[in-house]
Structure 1
Amino acid sequence: MKKIITLFALTVSLFLTSESLSAQNSKLNRAEIEDKAKKEMVSLDEELDLTTEQEQFVFKQYYSYFTNYNKHLNQKIKDENYKKNKLKFDETLIAQMKKILNEEQFAKFEKLQKNKSQKEILK
């Protein structure tokens, strides 16, 4: 009986430990966020032919976007609060991009965002 209780306690502790480890792994670290922001900036630069100044601003905006997303939206449960925050972050990114890009670039940016959204829906 003592062995069964010990085995059960060990199993429960392993289960709880694995849950906390997987929760920690779902958060991105600073270098990963920076890398994602750089990739988005490079991708937009290829499509929109950004100036050096625009590249810096776009990088900062995506870095901020991914940091907020990672901090506030990196959860398994997609409740009403999740949807509200995601919409707020997306709208803020678009508003900032409208300030950074010229009209022609912003029109292309919107098309790219729509294509990206459609691809995510199809997954």
Structure 2
Amino acid sequence: MKNLFKIVVVALVLVFGIQNTVAQSLSQDQERPEVIAKLKTSEINDAFDLTGEQQRYIFRALTANEVNLRKHVNGKDASNPEVAANKKKYDDALSQAMKKTLTPEQFAQWQKM
């Protein structure tokens, strides 16, 4: 009886230990703002051959833009004037950040993208 009890206890410890390990594993969700911003930054870098400083600044601007759009625009009624104003505000902020970061030639190409 003692051996059966020990086997059950060891099995339970293993099962709960495995569940805890799986729960702590990291996975990148493709819908996270950072992942989306990283992909967009990579696309812009491939097109324009950015410097490291430009990449960092663009990544931050794209992440902030994605977070703000999700919080204030996505999933809401697009015909609502407040939602439209928020979208325009965040798009303008992204455009200003890109204009500040990119060279005039790069910025003109980015607008065409």
TM-score (norm 1): 0.64
Equivalent-residue separation in structure 2 for 1:76 and 1:65 (angstroms)? 16
The answer to whether the Cα contact below 8 Å between 2:73 and 2:86 also exists between their aligned partners in 1 is yes
Identity %: 34
Equivalent-residue separation in structure 2 for 1:77 and 1:44 (angstroms)? 30
The residue aligned with 2:87 is 86
CA positional deviation for 1:109: 0.6
Q: CA RMSD in A?
A: 1.4
The residue aligned with 2:57 is 57
CA positional deviation for 1:77: 1.5
Deviations 1:90-115 (A, max 9, x none): 01100110000011111111111xxx
CA positional deviation for 1:80: 1.0
Equivalent-residue separation in structure 2 for 1:106 and 1:76 (angstroms)? 30
Q: Which has the higher contact order (CA 8 A, sep 6+)?
A: 1
Letter matched to residue 38 of structure 1: K
Letter matched to residue 87 of structure 2: K
What is the count of residue pairs matched by the alignment? 83
Deviations 1:57-82 (A, max 9, x none): 00000000001011111224221111
Q: Which runs of 5+ in 1 are unaligned?
A: 1-28, 113-123
Q: How does 1:37-56 map to 2 (within 5 A)?
A: 37-56=37-56
Letter matched to residue 82 of structure 1: V
Instruction: Give runs of ≥4 in structure 1 deviating > 4 Å.
Output: none
TM-score (norm 2): 0.69
The residue aligned with 2:99 is 98
Q: Secondary structure at the match of 2:50?
A: coil
Q: Which runs of 5+ in 2 are unaligned?
A: 1-28
Q: Secondary structure at the match of 2:77?
A: coil
Letter matched to residue 69 of structure 1: L
Equivalent-residue separation in structure 2 for 1:86 and 1:77 (angstroms)? 12
Q: Secondary structure at the match of 1:50?
A: coil
Q: How does 1:1-123 map to 2 (within 5 A)?
A: 32-78=32-78, 79-112=80-113
* Structure with more helix by fraction: 1
